[in-house]
Amino acid sequence: MKVALLINPIAGYGFYSNLKDTIGTGNFEREKSLSLKAADTFLSALDLAKITFTVPSGIMGEDLAVEHHCSIRRTVKVSDWPTSERDTEAFVHSLSSEDCDLLVFVGGDGTARCIQRTIAKSIPILGVPAGLKMYSGVYAISPEKAAVAVNTVISSDIVTTQMDILDLDENREIVNYGTVLGLSSTMILQGGKTEYTIQGIDGIVEYVIENMDENTYYVIGTGSTCKS
């Protein structure tokens, strides 16, 4: 099976500074990268003997692929550091259905939006959750479940469906930015959080507060929804 693997190394990094996304995260410390940890877990659970990879160079894919002794069929040169949306777009734009059966990306909804704008419509995608906000329907429940999904389609036909790419806008409302081809598996995927699109964040906050028990302690996190 031919898999393209893309890691957004700063996805979820805003967790450390209570940001809604990773823009303006400042100095990057590799050991704190949620996406690199998620990618490591994902690769550890894969049946690597049956997969060949196309990866971006360096921290966006190649480094971990080499560390896990993956079979790399092609490496696409991107920036060493810092990485940006342009690197994601350049890598995704280089893919074709002839050399890629599935694109697996590790990141959040910002990464998913960037991919949606660029990817060939015939290539299905699967998200490994690592960002601060994941409203889109393309994400597996966990890195381990993402590996289960890939291991399953290795030995069978890939069943796909159209999935929404959702993200917060500047008013903290959930907006549908388009669709992509995703894996069809409700047992493994989170599913898009479309039930929140009508009322937005304020509706979520109001619902949660109204249903809280005053005699119960709550631990809530992370992201801008919980901050509200």
Cβ atoms within 10 Å, residue 139: 29
Of residues 186 and 125, more confidence is placed in 125
pLDDT band at 185 (very low <50, low <70, confident <90, very high): low
Q: Which residues pair with 106 in a beta bridge?
A: 7, 128
Does the residue 214 lie in any domain? no
Answer yes or no: is pLDDT of 154 > 70.
Answer: yes
Q: What are phi and psi of 190, to 5 degrees?
A: -70, -40
Does the residue 218 lie in any domain? no
Report pLDDT for 197. 39
State the virtual CA torsion across 28, 62, 117, 148 in degrees, nearest 10. Answer: -100
Report pLDDT for 157. 77
Asked if 16 and 32 count as a contact pair (C-beta separation under 8 A), the reply is yes
Report pLDDT for 98. 84
Report pLDDT for 97. 84
- The answer for residues whose C-beta is within 8 angstroms of residue 135's C-beta and 6 or more apart is 109, 166, 167, 168, 174, 192, 193, 196
Does the residue 211 lie in any domain? no
pLDDT band at 131 (very low <50, low <70, confident <90, very high): low
Does the residue 219 lie in any domain? no
Does the residue 150 lie in any domain? yes
Answer yes or no: is pLDDT of 22 > 50.
Answer: no
pTM for the predicted model, two decimal places: 0.77
- What is the extent of the structural domain holding 37? 2-199
- Average pLDDT for the chain: 81
Answer yes or no: is pLDDT of 18 > 70.
Answer: no
If one counts the domains in the chain, the total is: 1
